[in-house]
Amino acid sequence: MKIHPITELFTSQRRAVSGLALSMLLASLGTSIANIALPDLQVAFAAPFREVQLVVIAYLGTLTISVVMAGRFGDRHGMKQMLILGLSIFMIASISCAVAPSLFLVMFARGVQGVGAAFMMTLSMALMRQISDSSRIGRAMGLLGSVSALGTALGPSVGGILVSEFGWRSIFWFQVPLAAAALVLTAKAFPSGKKTRSVAFGLSMLARERGLMPRFLLNLVVAAMMMTTLVVGPFYLSLGLGLRAGLVGIVMAVGPMISIFSGLPSGRLVDMIGSHRTATLGLWLVTAGASMLALLPNLIGITGYLGAIVILTPGYQLFQAANNTEALADVPAEQRGIVSGLLTLSRNLGLIAGASGMGSIFAFAVGTQDLGSAPVIAIQSGMQTTFAMAAGMMFLATVLNFQTRRYKR
């Protein structure tokens, strides 16, 4: 039966979006699915925790240092070809993790898997921009934001089920057919990408010429803010409010769930009112949420904490959709890969800064590194100090966003 050209175009577009969304989902899933298997890995290989922890760090480390390289390779050698390469690396590394006979080989394969994830995360964003109409870029970025949040949120729950039923190797086998499906969808949906000449100027000049440096800096600051909630939140909920572990897990799941459902609406709002207005609204909501975290939980307990998260999380998704749209909107096709890589790099550096820097501020404000023995009042004071500083950091980010608009004009 002959397919009507319009139907064929729609089917191809749908395959392309599905392949890109699945690639982003897998890369995000990889950041959190292995965490749940660490106790089993420790038992299986009779290794200390500091060594088992490297299974997670290896993935995040290679992903972070490879994203810019992935973007440049995509610009030079074709985004489709490089995304297929990344998916192939990810799939082979997943198989290697599943059959690895030693902890060292698991860590090594996880590092290789992170390299594949860098190609998947970076080039999914660049290719999504390539296939999206100018009037729908925000929705495309919002979709990727929702999928990324979904992958991160699903990791612990899916990993927990797999590990309990089939053992730790199953979490890596689980990723193999998903990577194969994304690879087939990508190969069939996209025409062969054209190779381009290498860009004649460096990364710093690219950022200056297009006014992108503030976009990267804002991305870093907002990501650090969000990671602060994920690092400080569990300590405060368990030690400051005295919640049991199960309830802490439920409360901590509220933010990721809101992220999943607010990504697409955020993208639609970008297309309706523009990226700058949406980014401004998002930054103000994140600032308000950080201020509420500094004040309300110590006053009204868990209700105040959840109220702040309900304000802060949609603000994060609004900002992400708007900032990515703004950064990629006017970038020539031959530079989209590297700009996507820089966006991913700045986000990952922000996550690292939030986990290390803001975590250290929290411990300093509490007054001890042994948080388990700290009095409740010290934990509450540390929470207040940390998020007061985070709110000030976010206020400065809103000022920078305003100056970015003036610079563009």
Contact 126, 68 (CB under 8 A): no
Q: CA neighbours within 13 Å on the CB side: how many for 323?
A: 36
Taking residues 364-386, report their average pLDDT. Answer: 86
Q: What integer pLDDT is reported at residue 37 of this predicted model? A: 79
What local confidence, expressed as pLDDT, does residue 48 receive?
A: 79
Q: What is the pLDDT of residue 201?
A: 44
CATH code of the domain occupying 202-409? 1.20.1250.20
Rounded to an integer, what distance in angstroms lies between the CA atom of residue 138 and that of residue 71? 20
Mean pLDDT of 277-303: 93
Q: Yes or no: say if 266 and 317 are a contact pair by the CB < 8 Å rule.
A: yes
Per-residue pLDDT, averaged over 377-392, amounts to 92
Domain locations in the chain as residue ranges: 1-190, 202-409
- Are both 1-190 and 202-409 of the same fold? yes
Cα–Cα distance measured from residue 201 to residue 174, given in angstroms and rounded to the nearest whole number: 42
pLDDT at 358 over 80: yes
Residue 206 has pLDDT above 50, yes or no: yes
What share of residues in the chain are helix, strand, coil (percent, to 5)? 85, 0, 15
In the predicted model, is pLDDT for residue 204 greater than 60? no
Quote the mean pLDDT of the chain. Answer: 82
Predicted pLDDT of residue 117: 93
Is 113 a residue whose pLDDT tops 60?
A: yes
Task: Please list, in sequence order, all residues whose beta carbon lies within 8 angstroms of the beta carbon of residue 299, skipping any fewer than 6 positions away.
Answer: none
Sign of CA dihedral 215, 326, 26, 118: negative
Specify the pLDDT at position 85.
93
Q: Work out the pLDDT band at 3, boundaries 50, 70, 90.
A: very low
The pLDDT of residue 108 is 94
pLDDT exceeds 60 at position 91: yes
What's the token pair of residue 191? Answer: 């025409």
Average the pLDDT over 199-216 and give the result: 60
Query: pLDDT-derived band of residue 242, with 50, 70 and 90 as boundaries?
Result: confident
Number of CB atoms found within 10 A of residue 121's CB: 29
**Which amino acid is it at 117?**
A
Taking residues 294-306, what's their average pLDDT? 91
Burial 147-183 (b: 16+ CB within 10 A, else e): bbbbbbbbbbebbeebbeeeebbbbbbbbbebbeebb
Q: Which residues contact 110 (CB under 8 A, 6 or more apart)?
A: 34, 55, 56, 58, 59, 93, 97
Report yes or no: 264 and 146 within 8 Å, Cβ to Cβ. yes
Q: Tell me: the pLDDT tens digits for 324-351?
A: 888 777 767 667 777 777 887 888 788 7
Q: How far apart are CA 130 and CA 83, in angstroms?
A: 14
The answer on pLDDT for 9 being more than 60 is no
Mean pLDDT in residue range 233-254: 80
Q: What is the pLDDT of residue 287?
A: 95
Q: Mean per-residue pLDDT for 291-302? A: 92
- Asked if residue 269 has pLDDT above 50, the reply is yes
Q: Which architecture does CATH list for 1-190?
A: Up-down Bundle (1.20)
Highest mean pLDDT among 45-54, 214-223, 246-255, 306-315: 306-315
Average pLDDT of the residues in 158-180: 88
pLDDT-derived band at 406 (thresholds 50, 70, 90) equals low
Give the residue-averaged pLDDT of 20-42. Answer: 83
Q: Of how many residues is the chain composed? A: 409
* 28 burial type by CB count under 10 A (0-12 exposed, 13-18 middle, 19+ buried): buried
